[in-house]
Amino acid sequence: MTIAATVDRWEPNPHVIAKAGRIIRAGGLVAFPTETVYGLGADALNPEAVKRIYAAKGRPSDNPLILHAEDAKQAAELVEFNQAASKLAAKFWPGPLTFVLPSKNIVPSETRGGLDTAAVRVPNNPIALALIHKAKTPIAAPSANLSGKPSPTDAEAVLRDMNGRIDMIIDGGSVKFGIESTVIDLTDPDSPLMLRPGGLPREEIENTLGVKLGFPDDVKRKRSPGTHYRHYAPSLPVKIWHKGDLLPENSAYMGINRPDNLGDTPSILFASTEDYAHGLFAGFRKFENDNHEVDCIFVEWPEDSSGLSEGLRDRISRAAGII
Ligand code: AMP
Ligand code: MG
């Protein structure tokens, strides 16, 4: 049985947080909201608890987890910080930015998928921060979905995949961003690398560091195994729509621009790139659950080059199976 408890995001009920903290300390699994997507949390320093995350998600054990800390001080107990990391942490934490840095021995090999680096961030959500504080340990948390499925952006989506597989879910309403954190490799502080675009735009990081983020070569990419697996995919095929294309019959559609022949096609139209990022995964889940006559989901390819569009293109490409 999975216990479900609803709390106010800004003033989370301390009894609920205390209970969730006890479950984490006892080696259990608790799903909770962050500002990016819902996470599936366990005590990051307890190898048995971390193994339960992989089992509940069906996640390959070489795909390392992000450690969520309550502040930069706690993060610095887990990994070797350098100047670039300190500068970015001071500016963007709590927030949707994850650093890969050399791991300290305290982090079990299970949490880092056997690598000698670990990924850390401080999430910007009062429920997540209260939970980490109460659990008195960093919390390892991938997205709270079955491996390969779209990430959950509300509690209902978490329960659809995880009911009965986890001990508790804290329902704190819909998340803010809807796509995961930006992951950068800072192991060589002079040449930082973009491992996964996400909630914090590339240009903000580059402006702060005064250098461009590189692309990982094949060796580095192998060292971020999560970037190989097919991801974020609903049970229906996902195809790309470009402005001006006609929509085939029996499709669903998501995007900012309206296809000329949209008619009464099941669709979600977004007002902005941010809105689109927020609604992408929820839209995938809605079409696969509601529309049995739909046999393909078309999604608009975002052409703009700033803000969340790089992260959005990454998620769309993976859902469509083109990277
Ligand atoms: P998820 O938890 O599913 O949002 O994915 C976490 C992402 O961070 C995956 O793409 C991982 O491959 C990446 N990641 C986590 N830890 C490391 C690490 N030590 N080195 C490189 N990439 C990592
Ligand atoms: Mg994930």
Span 204-251, pLDDT tens digits: 999 999 999 998 887 677 666 666 666 777 889 999 999 999 999 999
Instruction: Measure the CA angle with vertex 12, ends 11 and 17; round to 5°.
Output: 150
Residue 183 sits in the same domain as residue 266: no
Using DSSP's 3-state secondary structure scheme, residue 143 falls into: strand
- Looking at residue 154, its pLDDT comes to 97
- Looking at residue 11, its pLDDT comes to 94
Residue 164 sits in the same domain as residue 276: no
Looking at all shown ligands, the one closest to residue 97's CA atom is: 1
Residue 205 sits in the same domain as residue 299: no
- Looking at residue 218, its pLDDT comes to 73
Q: Which of 97, 153, 196, 229 to mutate to test the pocket of ligand 1 (most atoms within 8 A of CB)?
A: 196
The enclosing H or E element of 4 equals strand 3-6
Q: Which of 180, 224, 281, 318 to mutate to test the pocket of ligand 1 (most atoms within 8 A of CB)?
A: 224
Regarding the beta carbon of 115 and ligand 1, being less than 6 Å apart is answered: yes
Report DSSP state, residue 178: S
How many whole angstroms from 266 Cα to the centroid of ligand 1?
A: 34
- Is residue 173 in some structural domain? yes
pLDDT per residue rounded down to tens, the chain (323 residues): 899 999 999 999 999 999 999 999 999 999 999 999 999 999 999 999 999 999 999 998 889 999 999 999 999 999 999 999 999 999 999 999 999 999 999 999 999 999 999 999 999 999 999 999 999 999 999 999 999 899 999 999 999 999 999 999 999 999 999 999 999 999 999 999 999 999 999 999 999 999 999 988 876 776 666 666 667 778 899 999 999 999 999 999 999 999 999 999 999 999 999 999 999 999 999 998 886 789 999 999 998 887 899 999 999 999 998 87
Report DSSP state, residue 212: P
How many whole angstroms from 240 Cα to the centroid of ligand 2?
A: 21
Residue nearest (by alpha carbon) to ligand 1 atom 22: 224
What is the dihedral sign for C-alpha 276, 281, 282, 284? positive
How many whole angstroms from 130 Cα to the centroid of ligand 1?
A: 23
Using DSSP's 3-state secondary structure scheme, residue 220 falls into: helix
Regarding the beta carbon of 100 and ligand 1, being less than 6 Å apart is answered: yes
Regarding the beta carbon of 183 and ligand 1, being less than 6 Å apart is answered: yes
Residue 271 sits in the same domain as residue 203: no
Which ligand 1 atom is at minimum distance from the Cα of 180?
4
Residue nearest (by alpha carbon) to ligand 1 atom 3: 142
- Is residue 170 in some structural domain? yes
Residue nearest (by alpha carbon) to ligand 1 atom 12: 226
Which ligand 1 atom is at minimum distance from the Cα of 66?
15
Using DSSP's 3-state secondary structure scheme, residue 97 falls into: strand
Q: Which of 54, 65, 79, 153 to mutate to test the pocket of ligand 1 (most atoms within 8 A of CB)?
A: 65
- Is residue 19 in some structural domain? yes
Q: What is the pTM of this model?
A: 0.95
Residue 215 sits in the same domain as residue 306: no
Residue 127 sits in the same domain as residue 261: no
For the chain, what is the domain count?
A: 2
List the domain range (segments joined by +) for residue 280. 238-319
Which ligand 1 atom is at minimum distance from the Cα of 103?
19
Domain boundary among 221, 254, 271: 221
Q: Which CATH number belongs to the domain containing residue 186 in this structure?
A: 3.90.870.10
Using DSSP's 3-state secondary structure scheme, residue 68 falls into: strand
Of 247, 256, 246, which is closest to residue 295 (Cα–Cα)? 247
Looking at all shown ligands, the one closest to residue 196's CA atom is: 1
- Is residue 144 in some structural domain? yes
Residue 64 sits in the same domain as residue 213: yes
Looking at all shown ligands, the one closest to residue 147's CA atom is: 2
- Is residue 304 in some structural domain? yes
Which ligand 1 atom is at minimum distance from the Cα of 142?
2
- Is residue 230 in some structural domain? no
> Cα 188 from chain centroid?
24
- Is residue 93 in some structural domain? yes
Residue 295 sits in the same domain as residue 147: no
Looking at all shown ligands, the one closest to residue 185's CA atom is: 1
What does the alpha-carbon distance between residue 46 and residue 43 come to, in Å, rounded to a whole number? 5
- Is residue 265 in some structural domain? yes
Residue 306 sits in the same domain as residue 252: yes
Residue 127 sits in the same domain as residue 260: no
How many whole angstroms from 264 Cα to the centroid of ligand 2?
A: 33
- Looking at residue 243, its pLDDT comes to 92
Residue 246 sits in the same domain as residue 217: no
Residue 246 sits in the same domain as residue 99: no
Regarding the beta carbon of 226 and ligand 1, being less than 6 Å apart is answered: yes
